[in-house]
Chains A and B, each alone.
Chain A
Amino acid sequence: MSTPLVVTKRMMDHPTDSHTMERYEATGGYVQARRALGMTRDELVEEIKASGLLGRGGAAFPAGMKWSFLAPARPSYLVINGDESEPGTFKDRQLLERDPHQMLEGVIITAIANEVHHAFIYIRGEYPKPARRVQAAVDAAYARGYLGSGIFGSGYDLEVTVHLGAGAYICGEETALINSLEGFRGEPRLKPPYFPAAKGLYMQPTIVNNVETVSNLPHILDMGAKAYTELGHVLDTGTFLLSVSGHVNRPGNYELPHGITWRQLIYDIAGGMRDGKELKALIPGGASSPWFVPAIHLEDQITKDVCAEAGSMLGSGAVIVMDETTCMIRAAERVVRFFAHESCGQCTPCREGTTWLEMVLRRIEEGQGRAIDLDLLLDVSDNISVGLAWPPRMTTICPLGPSAVSPILALRDYFRDEVDAHVELGGCPFKRVEAHA
């Protein structure tokens, strides 16, 4: 199928130098930023609202509405969340590395719309090359007067600071990110009262937007909100970057319109299952999301609402595909271990609960599982995420704890027999010999 590319167009057309200022300006770059300088805050907010742009960091919150929530106190700040750490997500990496100016122009537009004069781009510490590319882009923009005092010859000042994280998934949570930026431990803040739009960075009103989200902005201003809505499914507008990984022939990032099906994604776009194996399970929206199985979900459309109705989420668009050779307990343990490792430790249920879940799953995988262990896992999960609902009802400060529960729901709903087999066998029927990743 032919898909109009939006945020990946430049890097696909010019794979060697899409990240440079020269190529960016040669392909229409920094025109919309200049236009934005001549628009009012209200005009910009309304345009983005009309485009229906949803946040691309995983929460899918309407970007225009987020901007309109900005409290009146000044100064206000803009923070770009480049902490991409959800397992299975690697699309922001590509945008940062291959088209940093696109994001930067989006930063400028967002800053103008929110009366921001200092923006921070927070990039996870494990992305040194993307960070270097972004810093080079920022430096080039400063050199041409596109950043600094009086950008593009106007009276508007805008400073941009690039900041590296130090290896914590939880710093992708916006208030933990803000804490990290301020030099504190990367721990989420209580909301209320610390909603960033009201009390964010340095307790000032702050907009936190994802890399992909702001990368869309120059294009929205260019084509107009209406044209943008026509690019995709009417409720999910624009295109959408999906990272596909796992047991497929062509893992990678794909810019797609909303509405294709999982079958199309896996078997057409991603080249089908490797070695011709059977699809066993897929994680639709990053490690936090409840799993899907082919018997139930293969024909579903990939949209935010269809995913939600099916009891999961599209999240940041990270698809992990598992074939028939995969031990589901081992996979579940691997995901739960990630969350236990990344828990910030502030609140009791997540700090103690995720590690407990990890230990039980490992015990089952290593052959010391008991018949009661799955019910134990579910009850411990219930004490983290009440009712095992999705979206979760938390006993915790942030959704990390409840995220760890998702794999366990999959074991309960689809792979109970595999758990039983581990218990009865006293070991893993798949007998993988390689060491854990």
Chain B
Amino acid sequence: MPEQEPVTVTIDGVEHQVAAGSLLISAAQDNGTYIPRFCWHERMKPVGMCRMCLVEVQGPRGPMLVTSCTTTVADGMVVDSRNQTVKKAQEGVLEFLLANHPLDCPVCDKGGECPLQDQAFSHGPGESRFVEIKRNYEKPIPISDLVLLDRERCILCARCTRFSDEISGDPLIEFQSRGNLTEVNTFPDLPFSSYFSGNTIQICPVGALTSTQYRFRARPWDLVMVESSGQHDTVHPRLSIHASQNQILRFVGVDNDATNHGWMSDKERFGFEYLGSPERVTTPLLRRNGELVEVGWAEALDAVAERIGLVRDDDGGGAFAVIGGAHGTNEDAYALSKFARVVLGTNNIDARLDDSLSSHFLAATVDRALISDLDDADTVLVWGPDLKEEHPTLYLRVRRAAQELGVKLVVVHPRASGLDDRASMKLGYRPGGGFALLDEIAEGMHPEVSAALSAAKVVVLAGQACHADGPRLAESVAAHVRNKAGSARILPLARRGNIFGALDMGLAPDLLPGRVTADDAGRAGLAESWGALPTARGKDTRAMLEGLDSGDIRMLLLVGADPIRDMPDPRQAALALEAAEYVVSIDLFVHDSNREADVILPASAFGEKEGTATNIEGRVQKLNMLSPGPGQTRPDWSILDDLAEHAGRPIGLASAELIAKEVSTVAPAYDGILWDLLEWEARDGAVVPLGGSQSLKHIPVAVKGTKAPSAPLTLHVARTLYDDGVMMRHTATLHRLAPGPVVHLNPEDAKKAGAQDGHVVKVVTKHGEGEFTAVLDAGTPPGVVFVPFNQPGGAPLGTEAVVRVTAVTK
């Protein structure tokens, strides 16, 4: 849209130049005049309902009271926001709102951070003349597992209902009845089970919506607050950590214009309980006589260092494996990268768990998109996981682009997805049949899709929709779009915490820090800082596990990873961990993959260390520390630096900030990325490479894929937002929301299998089997069977697409 000339608006006698087309309330605010409001929210469409923002504007027939939130500025507008008429109107509205509002402040969570309190104080009449009987409701009522509703406190501003309809696409709460009896409520037998319900709690201007997790826990003036970026979603939504007495009590969304606009998923918002879990590993654990015993750091590090020396002397760097590192900060990842190459002498390192796209494509694709590219695209193609489940913050941005900004959305996914209702076109396919569908599109058999992909500006979000797709399909999709579109922008999708930061720091066998290929030229660039680097070709996770199983690899360093539960086909992981000679785990908890480890070293977690992280568009943001972690936990980088010392090969990483400085000098793509920049000029984060150059520029490559399987039923395994991952397992509030061991069947297929809704069925693949509860689901097409991945009580089914389903319950 072409830039318009600013217009002149006079507010309370003072002239201002304001952006044409802006709302009066927003323009006033930007120029120092605060107009009180309840229903208006910067990120939602204005509705002019609460009437608190009334101002007087000079019109052709004299002065008029208008709501400034629905009034667009016009050149020459004359506005009074403080005269007698306006003040009376403001006092009137507040008196009306307080008429039926219960005097709950002493017991209301919102007290101290309540817009109604604040504006009653600043703009209200001081006393109410209402002496009648106030409205009563049963209070509070749970409208979901996470949210409680108090209808007496509600001022019917519709922020929550509008958010649910307009932003999240989950219109599960709505106004019911009319007039003075209007109430917000859910529909019968349909709770407010939205993945985004927590946002309504934050934007509610009173204490009508409260969080079951936070209710009665603290007063805002008791809270210590520190800003950071959420790590559950690779968009890294900006948030604020609130704690009291060093215990984290809640996360609150912070508006970052580049990424989350202040919103976050409930997993991000409520998924922090694991940090304070009593089951955290807080002292180093060393296996003695078959048992893990608590020891001091010196003893633990000595034991590991000794083993490192032995293995390296005997068999060299190839006998080591390093798996993990996707959940730490960039500084942690850099330390791990340096440790593997310098101390272990190996390129066997991978932050992916055999469930991601190629490292070069993820880290360094050409034409990488920014999230903001979604906003002015002609077409957006989403071919990958259901964004609502795996990338909820990104889902909100895509939804907004399609709904508000006229972007044509094309969705390709094996079953119903959260974006279908906003899609102009939706194509389905049977798991395993992705390449065949891509061929069809390339041959012109879906002309509307081809037309959409030939538009001037196309953004493609390419990821792995289901395990049966394999890792190369997404890149082939991106390659196809690059050939068709006028100009294409690519956003490769990966979901694990700080995977993009990890890859940028070289946590892949073929990458070195700074988006540099692990070849001779790349090594030469690092030699000055790291010394001589191993030249043997590194192994990825799958190959490392095979090596552990066969004995070629003797020692495994597992950093924040649980392959047995987290890999699509965990058979290899189970065998590998069983066979491994020596396993060292740096982690927060004991879990299935490190239960039999030789050493477990307690690590600091989110909010317990300073550092940076890189999100899905290559944006680096600063993560801040609220307080140190429990017990003797230490950040990964500190453990590795100490371990390197003990192993006689120091890597010189004295502090996280110094690591960031080192990264900025040795990692080409991170030139200029310093903490100072991120804390001052670039508070929304900085996209790398800052200067625009990186040595590795990967052009997406199309490959030929496998044919679609012709079996009657094909298996679609994909993640849901809540599952049995280690962090979720220790977050009770969310863990109980995981779907559990269910299998979604199309009603036709269910009938053929003799299965009814709620009955137990047996699901069998080539590489796994288990008993699951049947859910009849018309959104799962005939011929497709959907099993949510890694659920409590579930069973691994592998990556083969062919599946059989038989009823167990008769």
Interface residues of A, Cβ cutoff 8 Å to B = 168, 170, 185, 190, 340-349, 351-356, 359-360, 363, 376, 382-384, 386, 393-397
Q: Does the CB pair A360–B132 fall under 8 Å?
A: yes
Q: Does the CB pair B156–A351 fall under 8 Å?
A: yes
Contacts of B54 in A (CB 8 A): 395
Which of B70, B96, B181 has the largest number of chain A CB atoms within 10 A? B96
Which of A349, A360, A393 has the largest number of chain B CB atoms within 10 A? A349
Shortest distance from the beta carbon of A94 to any chain B beta carbon, whole Å: 28
- 18 pairs from A and B in contact (CB 8 Å cutoff): A190-B70, A340-B179, A341-B179, A346-B49, A348-B50, A348-B155, A349-B51, A351-B156, A351-B179, A351-B182, A356-B130, A356-B132, A382-B88, A383-B91, A383-B96, A384-B92, A393-B65, A395-B54
Q: Does the CB pair B132–A363 fall under 8 Å?
A: yes
Any A CB within 8 A of the CB of B752:
no
Shortest distance from the beta carbon of B618 to any chain A beta carbon, whole Å: 39
Q: Does the CB pair B70–A395 fall under 8 Å?
A: no
Question: Once A and B bind, how many residue pairs between them come within 8 Å at the CB atom?
Answer: 93
Option from B91, B96, B130, B133 in Cβ contact (under 8 Å) with A348: B96
Q: Does the CB pair B88–A383 fall under 8 Å?
A: yes
Residue of A nearest to B85 (CB): A386
Option from B70, B88, B99 in Cβ contact (under 8 Å) with A352: B99
Which of B50, B52, B64, B180 has the largest number of chain A CB atoms within 10 A? B180
Option from A352, A359, A363 in Cβ contact (under 8 Å) with B97: A352
Contacts of B96 in A (CB 8 A): 348-349, 351-353, 356, 383
- CB-defined interface of B74-117 with A at 8 Å, one 1/0 digit per residue? 00000000000100110111011101100000000000000000
Shortest distance from the beta carbon of B265 to any chain A beta carbon, whole Å: 28
Any A CB within 8 A of the CB of B810:
no
Residue of A nearest to B177 (CB): A345
Which residues of chain B from 33 to 92 have a CB within 8 Å of any chain A CB? 47-52, 54, 64-65, 70, 85, 88-89, 91-92
The 10 closest A-B pairs by CB, nearest first: A383-B92, A345-B182, A343-B179, A352-B96, A359-B132, A355-B180, A345-B179, A348-B96, A346-B49, A348-B51
Q: Does the CB pair A344–B99 fall under 8 Å?
A: no
- CB-defined interface of B385-396 with A at 8 Å, one 1/0 digit per residue? 000000000000
Any A CB within 8 A of the CB of B129:
yes
Once the chains are docked, how many angstroms separate the CA of A346 from the CA of B180?
10
Residue of A nearest to B64 (CB): A393
Any A CB within 8 A of the CB of B175:
yes
Once the chains are docked, how many angstroms separate the CA of A344 from the CA of B95?
19
Any A CB within 8 A of the CB of B288:
no
Shortest distance from the beta carbon of A30 to any chain B beta carbon, whole Å: 40
Q: Does the CB pair A395–B50 fall under 8 Å?
A: no
Q: Does the CB pair B129–A376 fall under 8 Å?
A: yes
Q: Does the CB pair B132–A343 fall under 8 Å?
A: no
Residue of A nearest to B99 (CB): A352
Contacts of B85 in A (CB 8 A): 386
Contacts of A397 in B (CB 8 A): 48-49
Residue of A nearest to B98 (CB): A352
Known: A360-B132, A383-B88. A345 touches B180 (CB 8 A): yes
Shortest distance from the beta carbon of B443 to any chain A beta carbon, whole Å: 37
Q: Does the CB pair B180–A396 fall under 8 Å?
A: no
Contacts of A346 in B (CB 8 A): 47, 49
Q: Does the CB pair B178–A349 fall under 8 Å?
A: no
Contacts of B89 in A (CB 8 A): 383, 386, 395
Q: Does the CB pair A190–B182 fall under 8 Å?
A: no
Known: A356-B132, A363-B132, A395-B89. A345 touches B175 (CB 8 A): yes
Contacts of B181 in A (CB 8 A): 345
Which of B52, B93, B155 has the largest number of chain A CB atoms within 10 A? B93
Shortest distance from the beta carbon of B24 to any chain A beta carbon, whole Å: 13
Q: Does the CB pair B97–A348 fall under 8 Å?
A: yes
Shortest distance from the beta carbon of B697 to any chain A beta carbon, whole Å: 45
Q: Does the CB pair B65–A349 fall under 8 Å?
A: no
Interface residues of B, Cβ cutoff 8 Å to A = 47-52, 54, 64-65, 70, 85, 88-89, 91-93, 95-97, 99-100, 129-130, 132-133, 155-156, 175, 177-182
Shortest distance from the beta carbon of A395 to any chain B beta carbon, whole Å: 5
Contacts of B130 in A (CB 8 A): 356
Contacts of A348 in B (CB 8 A): 49-52, 93, 96-97, 155-156
Contacts of A347 in B (CB 8 A): 48-51
Residue of A nearest to B38 (CB): A348
Once the chains are docked, how many angstroms separate the CA of A344 from the CA of B47?
14
Contacts of A341 in B (CB 8 A): 179
Contacts of B133 in A (CB 8 A): 359
Once the chains are docked, how many angstroms separate the CA of A395 from the CA of B94?
13
Residue of A nearest to B96 (CB): A352
Option from A190, A345, A349, A353 in Cβ contact (under 8 Å) with B47: A190
Contacts of B100 in A (CB 8 A): 352
* Sample of 11 more A-B contacts, CB < 8 Å, known A190-B47, A348-B155, A349-B92: A340-B180, A345-B175, A349-B96, A356-B99, A356-B130, A356-B132, A383-B89, A383-B91, A383-B92, A383-B95, A393-B65
Once the chains are docked, how many angstroms separate the CA of A345 from the CA of B174?
13
Once the chains are docked, how many angstroms separate the CA of A235 from the CA of B51?
37
Contacts of B156 in A (CB 8 A): 345, 348, 351
Contacts of A384 in B (CB 8 A): 92
Q: Does the CB pair B175–A185 fall under 8 Å?
A: yes
Once the chains are docked, how many angstroms separate the CA of A347 from the CA of B179?
9
Which of A170, A351, A359, A363 has the largest number of chain B CB atoms within 10 A? A351
Q: Does the CB pair A349–B179 fall under 8 Å?
A: no
Contacts of B70 in A (CB 8 A): 190
Residue of B nearest to A368 (CB): B131
Shortest distance from the beta carbon of B4 to any chain A beta carbon, whole Å: 18
Once the chains are docked, how many angstroms separate the CA of A203 from the CA of B366?
42
Q: Does the CB pair B48–A190 fall under 8 Å?
A: yes
Contacts of B64 in A (CB 8 A): 393
Option from B91, B178, B180 in Cβ contact (under 8 Å) with A168: B178
Known: A346-B49, A348-B49. A386 touches B178 (CB 8 A): no
Contacts of A396 in B (CB 8 A): 51
Q: Does the CB pair A343–B178 fall under 8 Å?
A: yes
Q: Does the CB pair B180–A343 fall under 8 Å?
A: yes
Once the chains are docked, how many angstroms separate the CA of A341 from the CA of B182?
11
Once the chains are docked, how many angstroms separate the CA of A359 from the CA of B97?
16
Once the chains are docked, how many angstroms separate the CA of A129 from the CA of B787?
55
Shortest distance from the beta carbon of B83 to any chain A beta carbon, whole Å: 12
Shortest distance from the beta carbon of B394 to any chain A beta carbon, whole Å: 29
Once the chains are docked, how many angstroms separate the CA of A356 from the CA of B70?
27
Once the chains are docked, how many angstroms separate the CA of A344 from the CA of B91?
22
Once the chains are docked, how many angstroms separate the CA of A190 from the CA of B72?
13
Residue of A nearest to B63 (CB): A393
Contacts of B91 in A (CB 8 A): 383
Contacts of B129 in A (CB 8 A): 376
Once the chains are docked, how many angstroms separate the CA of A360 from the CA of B131?
9
Shortest distance from the beta carbon of B583 to any chain A beta carbon, whole Å: 60
Option from A344, A356, A363 in Cβ contact (under 8 Å) with B178: A344
Residue of B nearest to A359 (CB): B132
Once the chains are docked, how many angstroms separate the CA of A340 from the CA of B178?
10
Contacts of A342 in B (CB 8 A): 178-179
Once the chains are docked, how many angstroms separate the CA of A363 from the CA of B129?
14
Once the chains are docked, how many angstroms separate the CA of A357 from the CA of B791?
57
Shortest distance from the beta carbon of A352 to any chain B beta carbon, whole Å: 4
Shortest distance from the beta carbon of A126 to any chain B beta carbon, whole Å: 16
Contacts of A345 in B (CB 8 A): 156, 175, 177-182
Shortest distance from the beta carbon of A230 to any chain B beta carbon, whole Å: 33
Once the chains are docked, how many angstroms separate the CA of A342 from the CA of B95?
21
Residue of A nearest to B181 (CB): A345
Shortest distance from the beta carbon of B291 to any chain A beta carbon, whole Å: 65
Which of B47, B65, B155, B179 has the largest number of chain A CB atoms within 10 A? B179
Residue of A nearest to B95 (CB): A383
Contacts of A363 in B (CB 8 A): 132
Q: Does the CB pair A355–B93 fall under 8 Å?
A: no
Q: Does the CB pair B179–A394 fall under 8 Å?
A: no
Contacts of B49 in A (CB 8 A): 346-348, 397
Once the chains are docked, how many angstroms separate the CA of A343 from the CA of B91?
21
